[in-house]
Amino acid sequence: MNRFLAVALTVVALLVPARAWAQSAASLLEQGVRAYTVREYDGGAWLLRRALAVEGAEALSNAGTARALLYLTATEVARNQRDSALASARRLILLDPRYQPDESFPQPVLAVYQEARRTAPSVSIRASGDTAIRPGAETFVVRLGSSTSPDVTANVTNAEGRVVRTLFSGTLRDSVDLRWNGLDGSGKVPSPGRYMIQVTPRSQRGSAASANWTLRLPLEVMQPSIDTTPLPPAPPDSLFRPERGSSNAAVRALVPGLVAGAAIVVLPKIVASGENASSARLIVGGAVTIAGVAAFFSHHPGQRIPANEEYNRNLRESWQRNSQEIARRNADRMRQTRMIIRPGAPTLVTSAETP
């Protein structure tokens, strides 16, 4: 009997988390709030984090997210996890800089929230969720808001921290929509991967004052594979014609004529001693020699060959036109393919936390 009870308890313990994973974000939030009220802080923290992690259509509304973050802050204070409590409070301030917690919360919770407010900028960043755009034709929109009027710069950066595109630089008055068309600064579609929108204070009046905070919105950029045409290889050297006459080829064409002409004239005299070269042999030998000389000059030794230059030029231009046309078609295919941008949760890094 005891063994059966132990097995049953084990099964229940394994099934409860599975059921919690399958529940909606709103249901997880309510369970987390109840856990906090009955002082089940460890379970409450787990439930609240699960509620905040739900994405898509089942995700919490902005009001629900704010409530979950406030109760998570209170739960972490009760668990003596001050750093986690500050992180949750900062997330809440980033979500809504004007948010005011209920005064019914314990004083330590309110103190943590006020500390987070003192160290956080009065700037919020909010994305609408997963967005599919056609790069260059549509935009991914992020709302940047502030209760003051700070001077800020907002950049899209890649995983290495290099600026991909600047979205805004100036004074933030109330709110502004940051629009990214999915292209980098050179007008090209960046590779799929992890990117980030970074908002930092802008140095004023040319001063070199460094930023003491950075607001970050992580982005995951995804793009389906695209069937592009490879660029044609450059024409091999064997297809090009010589643009200047070869002296070696000219000499090779000349030598047989000279040798043959000399042979026609000289060899009969050597073989038949005392014989003088007849006028016919002299004429034939001279003609062969002249033919060799003509062959020599026909190779244009060291001279430009305009016909070959034009042929080579046409060959190069044809390859370049084909390459440019294929590159243009590939770019059109890239632009027609939709890019999926998935934003994450914003985070705040202060100067003391910046690596």
Annotated domain spans of the chain: 2-120, 124-224+337-350, 240-335
Q: How confident is the model at residue 208 (pLDDT cuts 50, 70, 90)?
A: very low
Specify which residues 215 forms β-bridges with: 199, 348
* CB proximity list for 180: less than 8 A, separation 6 or greater: 139, 140, 142, 156, 165, 167, 197, 341
Q: How far apart are the first and last CA of the chain?
A: 58
Residues 28 and 20 sit within 8 Å (Cβ to Cβ)? yes
Coil, strand, or helix at residue 301?
strand
Compare 150 and 219 and report the one with higher pLDDT: 219
Give the CA-trace dihedral at 96, 98, 103, 104, to 10 degrees.
Answer: -20
* Architecture in CATH for domain 2-120: Alpha Horseshoe (1.25)
pLDDT at residue 210, as a whole number? 43
Higher pLDDT, 272 or 207: 272
pLDDT band at 7 (very low <50, low <70, confident <90, very high): very low
Strands (E), the chain: 123-127, 131-133, 140-146, 151-157, 163-171, 175-180, 193-201, 213-222, 339-343, 347-350
- Position 126 scores a pLDDT of 85
Top-confidence range, 88-92, 251-255, 298-302, 321-325: 321-325
How far apart (Å, rounded) are the C-alpha atoms in residues 27 and 58? 10
Hey, what CATH class is 124-224+337-350 in?
Answer: mainly beta
Residue 68 pLDDT: 94
- In this predicted structure, the answer to whether residue 299 has a pLDDT above a threshold of 90 is no
Q: Which residues contact 169 (CB under 8 A, 6 or more apart)?
A: 152, 153, 154, 202
| pLDDT above 50 for 322 | yes
Helices (H) and strands (E) in the chain, counts: 9, 10
Q: Which two tokens stand for residue 336?
A: 């027609």
pLDDT over 80 at 294, yes or no: no
Mean pLDDT computed over 297-312: 74
Q: The whole model's pTM is what?
A: 0.49
> How much is the mean pLDDT over the chain?
78
Residue 146 pairs in a beta bridge with 123
Does residue 48 carry a pLDDT above 90? yes
Quick one: pLDDT at residue 337? Answer: 78
Tens digits of per-residue pLDDT, 15-37?
Answer: 444 454 457 889 999 999 999 99
Output 302 or 151, whichever has higher pLDDT. Answer: 151
Pull the structure tokens for residue 164. Answer: 């991909």
Rg (CA), the chain: 40
